[in-house]
Structure 1
Amino acid sequence: MTIVWAGLSVGAVYALTAIGYNITMTFGGVFNFAHGAFVILSAFFSWYVMVDLGWPWWSAALLGAVLGALLGGIEELVAVRPVLRRTDTRALLVTTVGAFVVIEGVLAATWGATPKSVGFFAGEDAFTFLGGRMAPVDVWLVVVAVVAGAGLHVFSRRSLWGLAARGATSDPDAAKARGINVGALRAGGFALAGALAGLLGPLVTPKTGASVGIAVSMTIFGFVALAVGGFGSFAGCVVGGLLVGLIQAYGSRYLGVEYPPLLLFIVLLAVLLLKPTGLFGKHGMRAV
């Protein structure tokens, strides 16, 4: 069971990353490749606030949310909005990748390549549960991932913003004709995704650490979680992330640390071939 708990906790990190991807897709119709870098940025920022400045974890969460929302809005304004004014929106992949590279470069120049870590605010003493060892951060990660996925699922389907954003994503022209500010919804989606990444810094960092080197793997595994769970489905993000974490944990334990990426690629390929929208995705959001 120790392997299960370890896989679920790491998978929860991927699920939270996938949820960030899904926010910009659901509320803006844009896949933000740079969101994985936002997660690592929040990790470094949490280390800076909690370790370097010595402030409490909740201040790192609140300030991280503000910083993430601001940077998310700036990315939408600079890297997304100008491209959407053109007819070929495939350039969005290039501009969001460019945003990823910029953030990664800033992090490397500011804090260097040395990994950094922070303690977990709820304690670090491991305990036994159902025959397996787990730490408090593992429980928090899984619970927060499930709550975030469920909350955003309800919000996207019940709130006025969520319903307007879903309509604008499906048919932007019709939404504009009905007086919906599509640009504001998209900018709000980017800000919300950035705020979520920044808010979760003190929770994610004790598990992953803060390192520029994991930005790419966080981005890739988060995308795999999204693709497996389903584009447009917040519940699918949680399921996909937990599945990715379990595959990674069991693959590393029984085959070796070099095999999980291959296993995940096989799973991703199988899902895309057999069910392109993912396990819980919608047909209208299968193209990314």
Structure 2
Amino acid sequence: MMKIRKAVIPAAGFGTRFLPETKAMPKEMLPIVDKPTIQYIVEEILASGIEQILIISGHAKRAIENHFDSSPNLEEHLRESGKLKMLEEINKISDIKIHYVRQPYQRGLGDAILCAKEFVDGEPFGVILGDDIVYTGSGEPALKQLMDQYDKTGGTVIGCQVVKPEQVSAYGIIDGTQTSDPNLLKVQDMVEKPNLEAAPSRFAALGRYVITPEVFDILEETRPGKGGEIQLTDALRVMAHMGNVYAYNFQGKRYDTGDKLGYLKAVVEFALRREDLGPTFKEYLKGIMEK
């Protein structure tokens, strides 16, 4: 069984929920305090032991490439100003080796994954959506948790969490059978945004995957659905019917930063966790609530 050595970040979407800000700025570059969203994603991948990263970009996404590139003038300015700690932080970013490929047309997540076929080159690979952050503190990164399950099962693993009953209708829900691990289901099917009464479980698919390479053959045969888009979910359903797909209830606090409320929650909670900002920011928030 091949090890997971590569990860893909789909980041070609328009980010329409954040217009007009995302007209020129990729949604993946929206800052969580002082670090862009996509950097948290890249850091999770590196912390999971993966060093080969591909970002699926699109038009007006040059800012992502610039962020992970070197910046000689800025580096020299920081060095001359004696801001060596900041220089070290900047150098860490530019030392990360990232590959890029463009998704020419917005034809869905499945089409974006197809753009990674040459990079993946027949290996199993990780996927994290570019606007989906999971905070695990000192615990194991969410992607690494899925990789551990892949090592046990040898199959595709969909990252899930058990959502509240009132949230079921907002997600793709797993229809599966329980394994000996209460956090792991063997997937039989996926139901998109069901009513609570019709939902087969409360396991919701949440933006992280470890996928085996046969997905590419299936995606190439997958017909476009609503809006002319090729959906990754459709391919995963076919793979589940064939037999070796699992859903794992990963541990951690997940933030959908592509949603305005989810983004605001991430900014506030990450700021509160910081030693340099947390105590003062907490007092500020208390003052607002008391008015």
- Give me the TM-score of the superposition, normalised by structure 2: 0.23
Larger RCO, structure (CA 8 Å, separation 6 or more): 1
Which one has the bigger helix percentage?
1
- Give me the TM-score of the superposition, normalised by structure 1: 0.24
Which one has the bigger strand percentage?
2
